[in-house]
Structure 1
């Protein structure tokens, strides 16, 4: 299930997660479908959080030099 997440952009993953949330809020006819949707949603949430963490680390890695120019410091 998580293998196909790596091909998703953050925006696509977030859109799918939002659709699952809306679907679960409305209700589904079968409990098994709801559980499957919940599992997919949990995986998407984790994937989106990872992407946000990576983006935050990249932004934090940008530093301003004394002359005012920006540079990126290496990430650990």
Structure 2
């Protein structure tokens, strides 16, 4: 029995539309955004919301959170 290996590429630490769109256009499977204000690569939730509205619907995004609670 052999297991199928599935690879996916995630580009993380994106902070602006041009970089996110380029990563998507070049074939990234997932676009990663850091939602931790103390990170040099952080993006605010409001800016991320605006950025996501400009990206193609097919873009899959993920967030990196540090010490967030469900209420955040």
TM-score by length of 2: 0.29
Q: Which has the higher contact order (CA 8 A, sep 6+)?
A: 2
The structure richer in helix per residue is: 1
* Structure of greater Rg: 1
Relative to its length, the structure with more strand (as a share) is 2
